[in-house]
């Protein structure tokens, strides 16, 4: 049957393709820390000012369908082996000796943009995964035994025991880094590309729980991502079950049709193998056969006292004929037998049997996947419970430690310091260790307090202080004018930054990432005024320039 042939071919092709497709294994990743705590970053003035988009462009350039992609400074190797089912495939993310990245945030931007371009992740999911990937590789730095237990030989063949993973200091990154991004199939554009289980192992989560916030925000984000992955996997499983059921029904129908077609063929074979029915005697034998067998009509049967020797023109007795029939066939002759119909299975029957085997294997595969999904559901439930417990303990702790307070800029001999005052009494309950500030200024921004920290000479750097601890949890990489104006406008802020010997206006987001830089240079003391969707600044030649809020010229 053509239908069965086509079914089997399509099923085998589908199975083959599923073996080759991959996705990123997010369960291998969970666990992340706030930047600046786990990693040592270069805090000096960058040699080159680059915007977020320029840095992300590096990761985008590394995406591709080939086995190896390189920009010269950064390389990605797609290490996969579809012939093996045990172990993980991986993308190897390599920092070559010429790599210039020296801050964990920039490295995560590069990885995140690669995940966007290569696997179709959204920006927020890609950035979240990039944090987990860096922490995962830092926790298992130089632990080749661990990687051998988890990954396929094709991955291990590329690894250098002195380079595998990610060092916690930027000083050891160039030429000494082989990060692993765990993959699992099938490859789908979107949230099912990275395998998350490996990234959420206990050592990673425990590393994160040592943070003051116990890593709750990032852990919650990862659980939410994994829940979306689980829903997508469940949807795909339902579709595959429906498709398999249709194939089962189709195969049953085709098999019945095949059987109906084979019955007439067998009957025809039987007719061809036997003499024509019209030549048969009433006993079911041809006349000649009946004569040869010694079977006579009743009215012609010999009498009991008949001679054993046949007379002239008479048939020999039955026992004589039987004895003759039992004589061995002379050597060199072959006894003639009636032809029998062939019992060899037809080609269609063989194909049908093979298709049944394929369906049975697929059925078992779907049952195994259902079992794995149930395990994931239970693991997610346990993660939710653990996060809720940590969150409750943290809330109780903060309630006991912190009464109702307000931030206050306290001027000391060395300079201004941000403190927390207890309401009504004015008692100082907490002092910031970020002291002294470069200028007497702080603003609410990005969920914290935006201040300018000293950087030597006229230079400074933007910093966001945690409102509960007054510790700097994010700082800008770029050098800003220490006594310059800082303007907060909605979800961005503007400040004057240095590049070489000149000063420009920079635009920063709530993570203090540089989004844009003005083309025109400005005096470092310039005002920054926003009105009607425009930014007004004083240029280095003493004129007033009107810029768009993306810092381009109108």
Which of 192, 207, 222 is the C-terminal boundary of a domain?
Answer: 207
Report whether pLDDT(495) > 60.
Answer: yes
- What is the pLDDT averaged over residues 373-385? 86
SS3 content of the chain, % helix, strand, coil (to 5): 40, 20, 40
Q: Does any domain span residue 260?
A: no
Give the DSSP H/E element, type plus range, for residue 452. strand 448-454
- What is the pLDDT averaged over residues 78-99? 94
Q: Are 483 and 458 in contact (CB under 8 A)?
A: yes
- What is the pLDDT averaged over residues 381-405? 74
pLDDT in tens, 155-211: 999 999 999 999 999 999 999 999 999 997 655 456 666 778 888 788 888 888 887
pLDDT in tens, 500-530: 999 999 999 998 999 999 999 999 999 999 9
Q: Does any domain span residue 47?
A: yes
Report whether pLDDT(489) > 50.
Answer: yes
**CATH number for 414:** 2.130.10.10
Q: Does any domain span residue 344?
A: no
Q: Does any domain span residue 162?
A: yes
Report whether pLDDT(295) > 60.
Answer: no
Report whether pLDDT(91) > 70.
Answer: yes
- What is the pLDDT averaged over residues 387-404? 70
Pairing state between β 502-508 and 486-489: unpaired
Q: How many structural domains is the chain composed of?
A: 2
Q: Does any domain span residue 341?
A: no
pLDDT of residue 401: 53
pLDDT band at 107 (very low <50, low <70, confident <90, very high): very high
Residue 241 CA to residue 141 CA, distance in Å, equals: 41
Q: Does any domain span residue 175?
A: yes
Q: Does any domain span residue 544?
A: yes
Sign for the pseudo-dihedral over CA of 324, 327, 330, 333? positive
Report whether pLDDT(3) > 70.
Answer: no
pLDDT of residue 133: 95
Give the DSSP H/E element, type plus range, for residue 504. strand 502-508
Report whether pLDDT(406) > 70.
Answer: yes
Q: Over 359-424, what HEC string results?
A: HHHHHHHHHHHHHHHHHHHHHHHHHHHHHHHHHHHHHHHHHHHCCCEEEEEEEECCEEEEEEEECC
pLDDT of residue 469: 86
pLDDT of residue 304: 44
Domain that holds residue 136: 22-207
Indicate the SS3 state at residue 274.
coil
Helices 104-119, 52-62: axis angle to 10 degrees equals: 50
Give the DSSP H/E element, type plus range, for residue 180. strand 177-184
Q: Are 131 and 125 in contact (CB under 8 A)?
A: no
Share of the chain above pLDDT 90, in %: 43
Which of 150, 184, 207 is the C-terminal boundary of a domain?
Answer: 207
Most confident of 5-14, 283-292, 394-403: 394-403
Which of 207, 239, 264 is the C-terminal boundary of a domain?
Answer: 207
- What is the pLDDT averaged over residues 119-124? 90
pLDDT in tens, 412-439: 998 999 999 988 889 998 999 988 999 9
pLDDT band at 554 (very low <50, low <70, confident <90, very high): confident
Q: Does any domain span residue 364?
A: no
For residues 78-97, one letter each, b for 16 or more C-beta atoms within 10 angstroms of the residue's C-beta and e for the rest, the string is bbbebeeeebbbbbbbbbee
């Amino acid at each position: 049957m053509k239908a069965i042939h086509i079914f089997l071919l399509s099923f085998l092709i589908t199975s083959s393709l599923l073996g080759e497709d991959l996705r990123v294994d997010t369960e291998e990743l969970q666990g992340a820390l706030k930047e600046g705590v786990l990693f040592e970053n270069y805090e000096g003035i960058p040699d080159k000012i680059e915007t977020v988009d320029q840095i992300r462009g590096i990761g985008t350039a590394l995406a591709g369908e080939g086995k190896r992609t390189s920009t010269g400074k950064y390389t990605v190797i797609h290490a996969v082996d579809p012939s093996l089912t045990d172990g993980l495939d991986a993308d190897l993310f390599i920092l070559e000796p010429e790599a210039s990245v020296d801050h964990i945030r920039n490295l995560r931007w590069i990885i995140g943009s690669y995940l966007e371009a290569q696997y179709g992740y959204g920006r927020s999911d890609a950035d979240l995964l990039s944090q987990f990937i860096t922490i995962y590789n830092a926790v298992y730095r130089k632990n080749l035994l661990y990687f051998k237990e988890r990954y396929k030989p094709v991955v291990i063949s590329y690894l250098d025991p002195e380079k595998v993973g990610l060092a916690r200091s930027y000083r050891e990154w160039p030429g000494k880094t082989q990060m692993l991004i765990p993959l699992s199939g099938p490859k789908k554009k979107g949230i099912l590309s990275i395998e998350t289980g490996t990234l959420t192992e206990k050592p990673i989560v425990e590393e994160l729980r040592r943070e003051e916030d116990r890593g709750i925000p990032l852990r919650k984000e990862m659980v939410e991502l994994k829940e979306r992955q689980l829903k997508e996997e469940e949807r795909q499983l339902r579709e595959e079950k429906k498709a398999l059921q249709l194939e089962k029904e189709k195969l049953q129908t085709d098999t019945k049709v095949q059987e109906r077609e084979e019955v007439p063929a067998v009957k025809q074979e039987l007719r061809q193998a036997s003499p024509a029915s019209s030549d048969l005697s009433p006993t079911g034998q041809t006349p000649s056969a009946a004569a040869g067998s010694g079977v006579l009509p009743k009215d012609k049967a010999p009498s009991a006292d008949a001679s054993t020797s046949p007379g002239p023109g008479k048939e020999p007795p039955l026992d004589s004929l039987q004895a003759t029939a039992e004589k061995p066939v002379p050597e060199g002759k072959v006894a003639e037998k009636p032809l029998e119909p062939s019992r060899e299975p037809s080609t269609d029957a063989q194909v049908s049997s093979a298709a049944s085997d394929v369906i049975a294997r697929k059925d078992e595969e779907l049952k195994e996947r259902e079992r794995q999904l149930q395990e994931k559901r239970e693991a997610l439930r346990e993660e939710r419970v653990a996060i809720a417990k940590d969150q409750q303990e943290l809330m109780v702790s903060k309630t006991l430690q912190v009464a109702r307070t307000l931030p206050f800029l306290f001027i000391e001999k060395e300079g201004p310091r941000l403190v927390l005052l207890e309401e009504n009494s004015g008692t100082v309950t907490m002092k910031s260790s970020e002291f002294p500030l470069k200028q007497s200024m702080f603003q609410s921004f990005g969920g914290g307090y935006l201040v300018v920290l000293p950087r030597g000479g006229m230079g400074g750097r933007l910093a966001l202080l945690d409102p509960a601890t007054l510790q700097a949890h994010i700082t800008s990489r770029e050098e800003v004018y220490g006594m310059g104006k800082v303007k907060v406008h909605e979800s961005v802020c503007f400040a004057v930054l240095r590049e070489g010997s000149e000063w420009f206006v920079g635009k920063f987001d709530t993570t203090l990432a540089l989004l844009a830089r003005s083309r025109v240079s400005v005096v470092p003391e310039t005002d920054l005024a926003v009105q009607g969707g425009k930014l007004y600044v004083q240029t280095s030649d003493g004129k007033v320039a009107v810029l768009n809020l993306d810092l381009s010229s109108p």
